[in-house]
Amino acid sequence: MVQFVKCKVCGYVIKESKLGDLCPACGVKKSAFEPYEPTISEKRMKILEFHIHPILVHFPQGFIPFILGISILVAILNEPIQTYFLMALRILSVALPFVLVAALSAGILDGKIRFKSITTPMLKQKIMVGSTAIILSILLAVSAFLIDSNSLEILWSITLSLILLGCSVFLGYVGGHLTCSVRVGK
């Protein structure tokens, strides 16, 4: 059986066989380590170690500030450059609902493995805000195609992307409290 040890100073957990002279995380001496009995099954641990959440969830959220920035450029620039940014805005806006659906699914899977349930108060909040963001992103994609060069619809795009940015900040804020937590039990 694999023996684990835990750093008493920073909490880092490592296989005993892999431990060198210093804690690889905080740098204290090996003597600061104590035996550690993992509280979750190796299988759950392996899945969590893939870190699907930051990769699949934060990457799509990066689209949102881009869309906001490009919408502002479309509003202030004139033809012919405006046309290029409008095209970029349309491509990103159409991609957004798809990446958000992938992100929500990854988030639900992560929550299910981490907390064994997706109906905890914080996860319910996240799922509600995430679903709202998907609906808003569909409206945003539609509105991106209604914009023409002199119309006011661009303000609608800017407003929607600001609200989406708010959703994503909220999701990140709640998520920040969750990423280090895991429900114990094999």
Q: How far is the CB of 99 from Zn ion (least distance, A)?
A: 36
List 13, 22, 26, 128, residue binding Zn ion (CB under 5 A): 26
In the list 4, 5, 6, 12, the residue contacting Zn ion (rule: CB under 5 A) is 12
Which 3 state secondary structure label does DSSP give 7?
Answer: strand
Nearer to Zn ion, 19 or 134 (CB): 19
Of 1-9, 58-66, 70-78, 103-111: span binding Zn ion (CB under 5 A): 1-9
Comparing C-alpha atoms, which of 170, 146, 152 is closest to residue 64? 170
**Binding of Zn ion by 10 (CB under 5 A):** yes
Binding of Zn ion at residue 146 (CB under 5 A)?
no
Question: Where are any strands of DSSP class E within 16-143?
Answer: 33-36
Residue 172, both tokens: 């990140």
Question: Is residue 13 involved in binding Zn ion (CB under 5 A)?
Answer: no
Closest approach, Cβ 28 to Zn ion, in A, equals: 5
Identity of the residue, 28 or 165, whose beta carbon is nearer to Zn ion in the bound complex? 28
What are the C-alpha distances in Å from 45 to residues 41, 177, 184?
Answer: 6, 19, 11
The span from the CA of 144 to the CA of 139, in Å, is 9
Asked if 9 interacts with Zn ion (CB under 5 A), we say: yes
Report the C-alpha gap between 35 and 19 in whole angstroms: 12
In Å, how far are 20, 109, 172 from 177, measured between CA atoms? 31, 17, 9
CA distances to 7, 65, 143 from 90, in Å: 50, 14, 9
Part of the chain binding Zn ion (CB under 5 A), chosen from 23-31, 70-78, 95-103, 110-118 = 23-31
Q: Does 7 bind Zn ion (CB under 5 A)?
A: yes
Residue 5 CB, nearest approach to Zn ion (Å):
11
The reply on whether position 154 binds Zn ion by CB under 5 A is: no
How many residues bind to Zn ion according to rule CB under 5 A? Answer: 7
Give the Cα separation of 56 and 161 in Å (integer).
20
Residues in contact with Zn ion by the rule CB under 5 A? 7, 9-10, 12, 23, 25-26
